[in-house]
A = this chain, B = another copy of it.
Amino acid sequence: MAAPRTISLDAMGGDQGPAVVVAGAALALEHHPDVSFLLFGDAARIGEHVARHPTLAERARVIHTESVVEMQDKPSQAVRRGRKSSMWLAIEAVQKREADFVVSAGNTGALMAMAKLVLTTMPGIERPAIAAQWPTLARPCIVLDLGANIGATARQLADFALMGAAMARAVFHIERPRVGLLNIGVEEIKGIEEVRQAHAWLKENAELAIDYRGFVEGDQIGQGVADVVVVEGFAGNIALKTAEGTAKQMAAWMREAMSSSLLSQLGARLAQRGLNALKARMDTRRFNGGPFLGLNGIAIKSHGGIDAVGFAYAIEVGYQMAENNVLGRLASDLEALHGKLNVPEPAGKSS
């Protein structure tokens, strides 16, 4: 197999910075004892946490940075002023081939802007996408774009299909993922022109390395009808957030139902095992780690409010993507698609 991996971490990102990032790295190391880490950020603060994990201490190098991208920094500011920040340098380690991938729990917009600038987009790709895993009644699926961009041309949607499929291949080990295009089902006004055109292209190109399943509606995502669900970033972000909100709402109602009377409380006590299994299923930490796809390098966004267990899951996403040569496969898939599409190269025009 491949050589041992080096993982670049922005140790200052997220609500808790080094405390979570270092502990997350230590957990990841338990699963993959041969990896090593580059930890970017405040050396004193990082060192304090690394000292608590002797095994990690042996396999981690701390690179001190003075500057940090703050959560409220605008992406344009961060890009201009943050070239010595932990985030920028952590990304740069991937560009310099000193690391196989980077994970940051920092400011999403800044991370996106920096990753795009430092790693650059793949040939023929105008805009990267943010993807994430989405739990379903069957196995989880991947949904993208979740808000890297607003609006998408037909070509971008078709690209997203291949990007998501590449991630599904790496993370779920499905060779020919089922791909669906998110659309709405109101008869004649069915979908925007871009969605229809992308649908036509994906349907015609059956030799692509995906199992294209056509349109999917919002209520079908959670049923697990596809391994990859493609949508432009505005509706995709709203779908993801709405699903998260609905899950929280249901959980709150359920807690209320199970504590509404002494009998209910006793019932909850008896059903403890089932309820614990349910809680584990709804544990969003398992789905942490959203890659930016379409870049010449692997960059993973972790949720900012996650704990060490969740951060380790984000590292795992990057690890699987590196291990399964996502970028190499994706580059050839995109080349095959673009060779078939009778459309000009992107010219910087958005949707």
With an 8 A cutoff between CB atoms, is A239 at the interface? Answer: yes
A157 to chain B, nearest CB (A): 13
The count of identical subunits is 2
Most buried by B among A149, A185, A253, A266: A253
What band does the interface of chain A fall in when counting residues whose beta carbon is under 8 Å from B?
35 or more
Return the chain B residue nearest A245 by Cβ: B219
Given A147-B186, A235-B235, does the pair A274, B258 have CB atoms closer than 8 Å?
Answer: yes
Q: A242's contact among B151, B221, B259, B264, by CB below 8 Å, is which?
A: B221
Of the stretches A38-46, A187-195, A321-329, the one at the interface is: A187-195
A interface majority secondary structure? helix
A116 to chain B, nearest CB (A): 12
Bound form: Cα–Cα A281–B192 in Å: 35
Q: Is A263 an interface residue (CB 8 A)?
A: yes
Q: Given known contacts A242-B243, A249-B137, is B222 in contact with A184 (CB within 8 Å)?
A: no
In the assembled complex, A200 has its CB within 8 A of some CB on chain B? no
Q: Which residue of B lies closest to A243 (CB)?
A: B246
Name the one of B187, B237, B258, B271 contacting A184, with C-beta atoms under 8 angstroms: B237
Residues of B within 8 A of A257 (CB): 271, 274-275, 277-278
A218, CB-defined interface residue at 8 Å = yes
**Nearest B residue to A182 by beta-carbon distance?**
B238
Could you tell me the distance between the alpha carbons of A244 and B331 in the complex, rounded to whole angstroms? Answer: 37
Closest 9 CB pairs of A and B: A218-B241, A267-B271, A267-B270, A219-B245, A109-B187, A264-B274, A218-B242, A257-B274, A257-B278
Which residues of A come within 8 Å of B, CB atoms? 74-76, 107-110, 112, 135-137, 147-151, 182, 184-189, 191-192, 217-223, 231, 233-235, 237-254, 256-261, 263-264, 266-275, 277-278, 281-282
